[in-house]
Structure 1
Amino acid sequence: MGKTEVEIQVYGAEQICASCVNLPSSKETYEWLEAALKRKFPDQLFKIVYIDIFDPPADREKQEFSRRVIEEEMFYPVVAIGGEIVGEGNPKLKTIVSEMKKFGYKSE
């Protein structure tokens, strides 16, 4: 099965969401997730990007998703793979790993 390089999107903001006060910041979660996934899937290509919901890149899809996070008052960071939300507020590594396996990734 040919696998495509998955893009994991971490939507967040500098300010920690009100309900997530004792949790790491979106940026810290993004960095932790990147390191953890590189250990889980060594030598397998994937892309992980951080998107500031209040200043998203000039990509319509990312801008619309950012607007959704704000309007629906989701707990951020929100982790999405292929447009599907796989984690919110305090994302679970296990959930993200099993989602990646659906795309053909093999964990160590």
Structure 2
Amino acid sequence: MYVNRNDNGHITLVSREATPDCREFLSADSPELLAFLSEGEVSRGQAYFQASDLAFVRILEDVIELLVDKKVISFTELPEAARQRMMERQALRRRPSGLSLVGADDEEGGAI
């Protein structure tokens, strides 16, 4: 994501692509960007926590896939809700245009 900042260094505008107004790149999981999208400075601590949660969820997802691939556990042993969520997330990641708000694939066009 590309951002514009005011004179105090606070984000004022966000775009998915570089524009004359938005030249500085921030990763989509940047706590500062999440705070801006979550209504500003008041949410900054919450944004850091949310960014950490998002990263941790991805790690857990990878661990579960690894355990299934190595046949340590069977996918069908997971609770139905967990299986459904895993399948939904896998489908979203495979989409060419993706809904990813986190990760390096966020440099596609469009403004927020």
Compare relative contact order (CA 8 Å, sep 6+) and give the higher one, 1 or 2: 1
Larger Rg: 2
Query: Which is richer in helix?
Result: 2
Query: Which is richer in strand?
Result: 1
Normalised TM-score (structure 1): 0.29
